[in-house]
Amino acid sequence: MKKSLLAAGMALAMASGAALAQVKPDVLVKQRQAVMTLQGKYFGPIAGMASGKVSPYNADVVSRNATYLENLAQMPWDGFQPSTKDVKSAALPAVWEQNAKFTELADRLQAETGKLAQAARARDEAGVKAQFGAVGKVCGACHQDFRMKQ
């Protein structure tokens, strides 16, 4: 019984656990889209509270969400393999045609979410309010040039 549960868990893990080069393009797209979905889940409440549109400000939620976001911001990029160019998604060809610019924005997102998480964990509400816009700007800048208009 214990062994079969383990086997089931392992089979599941192995199915998505091949080396990156062997991951199918449609799986890569699904994985990177999953990250975008979760970045929205956790940045949304931060933006709401930091902008004053959602109240009261909850430093515990902001700290938790910003830490998740800092992790998530590292996750999408290896999903933008050239092998995924022909998979239906909102990614524009510019991702590969202007890859240096795309990579620069990817790096900026990681830097800005890192700063946000640091302020959030320090319970520095003023720091979070000063920093959340920088994160939102990178989201918007990348979507403007690299994502199909929705």
Sole binder of a copy of itself in the list 21, 26, 31, 148 (CB under 8 A) = 31
Q: How many CB atoms lie within 10 A of CB 101?
A: 15
- Please identify which residue in 25, 57, 71, 83 interacts with a copy of itself, judged by CB under 8 A: 71
Residues in CB range of 145: below 8 A, 6 or more apart: 92, 94, 98, 101
Q: Whole-angstrom distance between the N-terminal and C-terminal Cα of the chain?
A: 48
Rounded Cα–Cα distance for residues 54 and 92 (Å): 33
Among 25, 33, 77, 101, binds a copy of itself (CB under 8 A): 33
Query: Dihedral sign, CA of 80, 83, 88, 94?
Result: positive
Q: Pick the piece of the chain touching a copy of itself (CB under 8 A) from 11-19, 80-88, 89-97, 123-131.
A: 11-19
Q: Which of the stretches 43-51, 81-89, 91-99, 118-126 binds a copy of itself when contact is defined by CB under 8 A? A: 43-51
Q: Rule CB under 8 A: which of 124-143 touch a copy of itself?
A: 133, 135-141, 143
Task: Find tokens 């902001």 and name the residue.
Answer: 62
**Binding stretches for a copy of itself (CB under 8 A):** 2, 4-10, 12-19, 30-31, 33-35, 37-38, 40-41, 43-48, 51, 53-54, 67-68, 71, 74-75, 133, 135-141, 143-144
